[in-house]
């Protein structure tokens, strides 16, 4: 590993598929920044320079350059989407494939990579990875780890993609980061006889805010694209691990929920409410289909990568539910 390294050298390593995985592992670290998000950052010890130092005394050339760091971090974080975009551009030419546009958070775009020999490998295969593997679909993925439903609504990137690619379906995953990024501040001491007492009343406001953004998105989509099939979902019962920074630990340290079954009970209560809110909204629109994935991934550590994300097998179970619903609406119905 070369250190210092010039910006051109590091950029070439990231752009070359044969060296990308090794470059990410050597020069970057992946840091979780929220319950549904994380990002690549240059390791502290790495120095990125404009040019090769002429000699050891050319210290000014070996100093870290903040603007260059920002540029490279943005490039590293965008690698996953670039790989998916390349596949989509190839596959949309196949008239037999059904074009789908997807927008979502880290359940649709888990960003972290791991070296796997020469090729680059996703550390976790998410829902969209499995949809992309299905030979019947060409998937335009707009997802990004940490994306929140309010940004999806305001940025409306999916509207341009739908206009451009005329997909048969739009698939949306959102709201989890909106809710769980503030979850630690919602928890309080309560009574096990009434599980809702472990939540401040603001939790219901958060659910309603998320529902309002969903409603805005669905209103626009069903008006602008009345023939488009739209698929939405709530999340499964996530895994509140005792060491979990965003879910488990706040439940224990703030709420006093020391028993695993009590923490899982609170998650079930929250996710049932979350799911019902989105499902009831979807029923107001003929072309909006709700995918119920509750109870799909067992609340058992062997199915979960961390407290928020299933592992490969867990996401495979979730993806099967999506694929079955897509089949029923887009393929069998025709």
DSSP string, 43-108: -TT--EESS--SSTT-GGGGS--HHHHHHHHHHHHTHHHHHHHHHHHHHTT-TTSEEEEEE-STTT
| Distance in angstroms (rounded) separating the CA atoms of residues 102 and 171 | 5
Mention every residue, 6+ apart, whose C-beta is less than 8 A from residue 116: 21
Which segment of 27-41, 130-144, 219-233 scores lowest on mean pLDDT? Answer: 27-41
Highest-pLDDT range among 2-6, 104-108, 230-234, 244-248: 230-234
Q: Could you tell me which residues are beta bridge partners of residue 28?
A: 42
* pLDDT score recorded for residue 63: 45
In this prediction, residues 74-100 reach a mean pLDDT of: 83
| Distance in angstroms (rounded) separating the CA atoms of residues 39 and 126 | 16
Given its phi and psi angles, is residue 117 left (phi above 0), alpha (psi -120 to 50 degrees) or beta? left
**Residues 174-216: tens digit of each pLDDT:** 999 899 989 999 999 999 999 999 999 999 999 999 999 999 9
For residue 124 the two structure tokens come to: 């976790």
pLDDT grade for 326, boundaries at 50, 70 and 90: very high
- Strands of the chain, DSSP E: 5-6, 28-34, 37-42, 48-49, 98-103, 113-115, 120-122, 137-141, 169-172, 229-233, 288-291
* pLDDT score recorded for residue 23: 80
| Distance in angstroms (rounded) separating the CA atoms of residues 266 and 271 | 9
**What is the average pLDDT value for the chain, to the nearest integer?**
87
In this prediction, residues 61-89 reach a mean pLDDT of: 66
Which segment of 4-8, 53-57, 216-220, 322-326 scores lowest on mean pLDDT? Answer: 53-57
**Residues 274-316: tens digit of each pLDDT:** 999 999 999 999 999 999 999 999 999 999 998 989 999 999 9
Say yes or no: domain 82-332 is CATH 3.40.50.1110. Answer: yes
In this prediction, residues 260-274 reach a mean pLDDT of: 97
In this prediction, residues 38-59 reach a mean pLDDT of: 68
pLDDT grade for 235, boundaries at 50, 70 and 90: very high
| Distance in angstroms (rounded) separating the CA atoms of residues 151 and 28 | 27
| Distance in angstroms (rounded) separating the CA atoms of residues 260 and 36 | 22
In this prediction, residues 82-103 reach a mean pLDDT of: 92
Measure the CA angle with vertex 205, ends 278 and 39; round to 5°.
Answer: 75
Contact 35, 308 (CB under 8 A): yes
| Distance in angstroms (rounded) separating the CA atoms of residues 288 and 285 | 5
| Distance in angstroms (rounded) separating the CA atoms of residues 11 and 45 | 18
Measure the CA angle with vertex 270, ends 314 and 196; round to 5°.
Answer: 145
* pLDDT score recorded for residue 67: 57
pLDDT grade for 225, boundaries at 50, 70 and 90: very high
| Residue 244 dihedral angles phi and psi, to the nearest 5° | -75, 120
* pLDDT score recorded for residue 70: 61
| Residue 101 dihedral angles phi and psi, to the nearest 5° | -105, 135
Whole-structure pTM value: 0.82
Contact 72, 79 (CB under 8 A): no
Mention every residue, 6+ apart, whose C-beta is less than 8 A from residue 115: 21, 22, 24, 25, 121
Q: Write down the domain spans for the chain.
A: 5-75, 82-332
């Amino acid at each position: 590993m070369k250190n210092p390294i010039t910006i051109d050298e590091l950029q070439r390593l990231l752009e070359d598929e044969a060296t990308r995985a090794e470059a990410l592992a050597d020069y970057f670290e992946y840091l979780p920044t929220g319950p549904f998000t994380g990002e690549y950052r240059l390791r502290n010890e790495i120095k990125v320079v404009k040019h090769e130092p002429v000699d050891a005394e050319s210290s000014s050339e070996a100093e870290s350059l903040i603007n260059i760091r920002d540029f490279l971090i943005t490039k590293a974080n965008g690698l996953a989407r670039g790989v998916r975009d390349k596949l989509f551009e190839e596959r949309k030419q196949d008239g037999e494939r059904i074009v789908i546009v997807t927008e979502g958070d880290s359940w649709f775009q888990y960003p972290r990579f791991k070296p796997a020999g020469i090729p680059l490998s996703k550390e976790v295969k998410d829902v969209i990875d499995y949809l992309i593997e299905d030979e019947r679909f060409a998937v335009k993925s707009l997802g990004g780890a940490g994306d929140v439903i309010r940004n999806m609504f305001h940025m409306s990137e999916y509207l341009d993609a739908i206009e451009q690619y005329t997909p048969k379906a739009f698939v949306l995953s959102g709201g989890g980061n909106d809710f769980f990024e503030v979850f630690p501040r919602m928890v309080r001491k309560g009574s096990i006889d009434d599980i809702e007492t472990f939540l401040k009343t603001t939790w219901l406001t958060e659910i309603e805010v998320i529902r309002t953004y969903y409603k805005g998105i669905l209103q626009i989509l069903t008006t602008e694209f009345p023939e488009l099939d739209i698929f939405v979902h709530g999340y499964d019962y996530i895994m509140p691990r005792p060491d979990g920074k965003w879910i488990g630990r706040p439940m224990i340290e703030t709420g006093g929920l020391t028993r695993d079954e009590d923490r899982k009970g609170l998650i079930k209560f929250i996710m049932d409410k979350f799911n019902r809110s989105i499902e009831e909204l979807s029923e107001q629109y003929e072309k909006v289909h709700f995918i119920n994935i509750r109870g799909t991934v067992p609340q058992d550590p062997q199915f979960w990568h961390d407290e928020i994300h299933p592992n490969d097998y867990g996401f495979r179970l979730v993806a099967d539910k999506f694929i079955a619903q897509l089949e029923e609406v887009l393929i069998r119905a025709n």
